[in-house]
Amino acid sequence: MTRTDTSADATPLPHQSDPGGGTEPAGEVPRRRLRIFLADDHAVLRAGLRLLINSQPDMAVVGEAADGQETIERVSDLASAGDVDVVVLDIGMPRLNGLEALRRIKADFPDLAVLILTMHASEPYLFQVIQAGGAGYVLKQTADEHLLGAIRDAARGMPFLYPTMEARLLTDYVHRARRAGERAATAYLSLTEREREVLSLVAQGYTNQEIADRLVVSVKTVETHRAHIMTKLGLKTRAELVHYALREGYLTSEAAME
């Protein structure tokens, strides 16, 4: 297996020139690419993900592994040198499964962002991933649609939640809030008619694209509505939604087994 050259992170983004080129504002430090480590035992899938990630101007694959033990060793080398930002880790690998590899990586490098790749669209998987310190999980069958955004979220310290999981947590939060008293009821009533409509569709499990199609608006507009909904309910970020889930006991071993 060819190991990717870790010097990729030193390459300026394509819209920027090297010093003296004239396109970079004076005194501004060029942004570097996010450095991604890929771990999956399927070489063809790994090659496809590498191509997808390296096609982005703000990302570069800096290392790869085909099993869990090799992942820990190579990630440890890169992380110790400060040469990796996000690990994308298959949950089902030989020698050591992805969940256990995640736990060991986070034990040694708690600030390193790790995303799990899986074939299983199951809430218990997300529960276990978050409990182990992961930034979320991405379904292999939708990696071309969600992986890049999930990597960017993880690099910013934000959890990646699929619409169905976010819908479950957000809907439960609203139900509990409406039962909690006048203050919570006031927060709910502050939602506009369109925001309540979006919230209803979120609760039914519709994706942003599906909501946009039904309401004849852009996906960006739907994302804006969802952001406003969470802010008005006192949840400014998806990270706070995850913290709510932890506080309410969703992310316990018992819940993960339901």
Please provide the distance, in angstroms rounded to a whole number, between the alpha carbons at the two ends of the chain.
39
pLDDT surpassing 50 at residue 84? yes
Mean pLDDT over 62-75 rounds to 94
Q: Are 158 and 134 in contact (CB under 8 A)?
A: no
pLDDT at 93: 87
Residue 231 confidence class, pLDDT cut points 50, 70, 90 = confident
**How far apart are the C-alpha atoms of 58 and 60, rounded to whole Å?**
7
Beta-ladder partners of 34? 59
- CATH for 6-155 is 3.40.50.2300
pLDDT at 12: 43
For helices 193-203 and 219-232, angle between their N-to-C axes, nearest 10 degrees: 100
Strands 34-39 and 86-90: parallel
Highest mean pLDDT among 12-21, 49-58, 88-97, 123-132: 49-58
Mean pLDDT over 61-67 rounds to 94
CA angle 234, 239, 245 (to 5 degrees): 80
Higher pLDDT, 76 or 25: 76
Q: Who's near 48: CB < 8 A, 6+ residues apart?
A: none
Domain boundaries, the chain: 6-155, 163-256
Predicted model pTM: 0.58
For the segment(s) 163-256, the CATH number from 3.30.365.10, 3.40.47.10, 1.10.10.10, 3.40.50.300 is 1.10.10.10
pLDDT at 50: 95
Closest CA relative to residue 227, chosen from 202, 246, 255, 210 = 202
